[in-house]
Structures are given as C-alpha cells and as structure tokens.
Amino acid sequence: MSNRWNTGLNWSDVTPERHWLNRRALLAGAAGAGALALAGAAEARIAAKPSPYSTDAAPNTLEDITGYNNFYEFGYDKSDPARHAGGLTIAPWSVKIDGLVDKPGDYALDDLTKGIALEERIYRFRCVEAWSMVIPWIGFPLAALLDRVGVQPGAKYVAFESLARPDEMPGVKAGLLDWPYREGLRIDEAMNPLTILATGLYGEAMPRQNGAPIRLVVPWKYGFKSAKSLVRISLTDTQPRTTWQGLQPREYGFYANVNPEVDHPRWSQASERRIGGGLFAKRVDTIKFNGYGEYVASLYAGQDLAKDY
C-alpha cells in the first residue's frame, strides 16, 4: 500500500461501511482541526454527488480495491500494481482525442474535464477470471466528454489506449503484452449513461494501481474492457482491435458482456468469487450483464451473444 493510504487505521479490521464512514470522519476531522498537514499526502476529498445508478451493495474495502489488481503494465501478479505503480508520473497528463470528432487535439486532462460534474458511482465489477468486487468510483459519463469534443455522424466505435511508458512500467519494459493496452466500445455502448470515465474512488483521486489519473469503467462488461490510465480516445468507423482479442480471439471477444450463459473456453462464468470474504468467501451466481440488464439489454436486441461474446 502506498503512503497516501497510511492513515493509522487498520482497514481490514472494519466492515466496508464502517471503514468508509471512519475514513470520511477522519478526513473531515483533520480538515476541521485545521490540521491539513496531518493528512500529509492525502488530497482534499472530491466533491461528487451520489448517483441513482449506484448499487446499495456494500463496497469492498480500500485495501481489497487497491491491493488486488490487474494492471499488466506493472506485472502479472495481483499484488504487482500496488507494489510497482507508486512511481508512475500522473501530472502533467494529456489525452489525445482524434478520429471522427469536431474538436480533435492533445488536451491537458484538466482542460478536457473542466466543469463536468463528478458523481459517485458504486458499481459491481466483474473480472473475466470469475472474481468480483463492489467499487465506489468517482467519475462522469463518457458521453459528457464525447459531447464536448463533438462526435461526427460517421463514428461507430470508440477506441481507447492506455499509457505505455517502459521507464515507469516494468511490465511494458518486459513486453508482457502487445502494448499499448487497447480497448473499444460500440458508440451506443460508449454513450450509455452507465459508461463512465473514473478519476477517483472512495472519494479521493484515483490510486495509481487502479488507473490514475483517468480510466474507463463499463460495469456490465468484464473488467478487461475498463482500460486504465488513458492517453488516447479515438472515434472510428470500424471496430477497433483490442489487446485481448489480438492475444486470444477465441477467449476474449469484442463485446465481453458479463454472461453466465456463455462460458470462457477454459472455465465457467456461471458464478463468481466475491473478493474480501477471506476463507469464507462465498461464490455467488453471476447475473447477466452483471445485473445491469435493465439499462443495457436493449443494446443487444437481435444479437446472438454466444456469437458476439
């Protein structure tokens, strides 16, 4: 765990809800006493309004969310991102917007997002490896950003690219994947109000291991769609090739919708292990579209999701 989370409380000893309230109280108390120095590296809490799209399931602990990660730029192991992402330079940060947009350019992140209201979105998150978490993101709809840059009528897909900086990313240096990490969405998926760009979690700026300073979150799809540390967003008229498709097209499709009826070739997707239960971690049934079907099932009307996996 990086120092910024080192508050002196033992997070694993408290339930997620207690933990959250405690952390809020702690930060409020520190500010109230004028003891900002006490908070050390901790940034001010981010103002974000609660979202009706949030689940009321209890969020995982900060420790789980920042200690059990997939971020292959920092290594294969779930503990590698927490151990190796601390040195990632995240300011300044710019995002290239290109392709079929009215206002392409290399935007400083702050300019690109200025004035867009932040929300707290507590989402279920399901990895293709059949584990899951509940994560209280801070972010805003991707649609708000796309509206700002002006999507042209011919745009049918959105392509995303993550940072690939060998000096600061040992997994990039070692060539673990075909970098940069690439993902994509169909334009209606990108515009769906559930699709967000997240800039924080648990009320604070995004931890590096979770994809600072800005990452995609698409809660009805397997976690690999939610590309981290984005540096490029391109509007295209053809379906973009993604990293995982390039590696193993039979196992990882473009759609990647959470679907208990369509197994991964090497394992079942019918149930999942909720991270954080320790020895008593119970498997729970996986819900189609990760439980977000009421908002997204209509996007796939007429499609065979066994073929379009």
Ligand X SMILES: Nc1nc2c(c(=O)[nH]1)N[C@H]1C(S)=C(S)[C@@H](COP(=O)(O)O)O[C@H]1N2
Give contact residues for ligand X (rule: CB under 6 A): 69-73, 127, 162, 181, 210-211, 223-224, 226-229
The site map against Mo ion for 91-130 (x = CB under 5 A) is ------------------------------------xx--
Q: Select from Mo ion, ligand X, none the partner in contact with residue 140, using the beta carbon and a kind-dependent cut-off of 5 to 8 Å.
A: none
Q: Which residue has the tokens 């004028």?
A: 34
* Contact of 115 with 196, CB cutoff 8 Å: no
For residues 164 and 282, give the distance between their C-alpha atoms in angstroms, rounded to a whole number.
36
Q: Min. distance of Cβ 181 from ligand X in angstroms?
A: 4
Q: Which is nearer to ligand X, 151 or 190 (CB)?
A: 190
Spatial neighbors of 164 by CB under 8 A, at least 6 apart, are: 73, 172, 179, 180, 181
Residues within window 180-239 making contact with Mo ion, judged by CB under 5 A: 223-224
- Do 225 and 126 meet the contact criterion of CB atoms below 8 Å apart? no
Q: Is 44 helix (H, G, I), strand (E, B) or coil?
A: coil
From the list Mo ion, ligand X, none, which binds 95 (C-beta under 5 to 8 Å, kind-based)? none
Here the tokens at position 225 are 């769609």
- Tell me how far apart the alpha carbons of residues 266 and 287 are, in angstroms, rounded to a whole number: 19
Q: Which amino acid is at 233?
A: I
| Residue 59 binds to Mo ion (criterion: CB under 5 A) | no
Which of ligand X, Mo ion, none does 60 bind, CB closer than 5 to 8 A by kind?
none
* 203/302 Cα distance (integer angstroms): 39
Which among Mo ion, ligand X, none contacts residue 210 (Cβ within 5 to 8 A by kind)?
Answer: ligand X
Q: How far is the CB of 31 from ligand X (least distance, A)?
A: 27
Which residues would be at the binding site for Mo ion (CB under 5 A)?
70, 127-128, 223-224
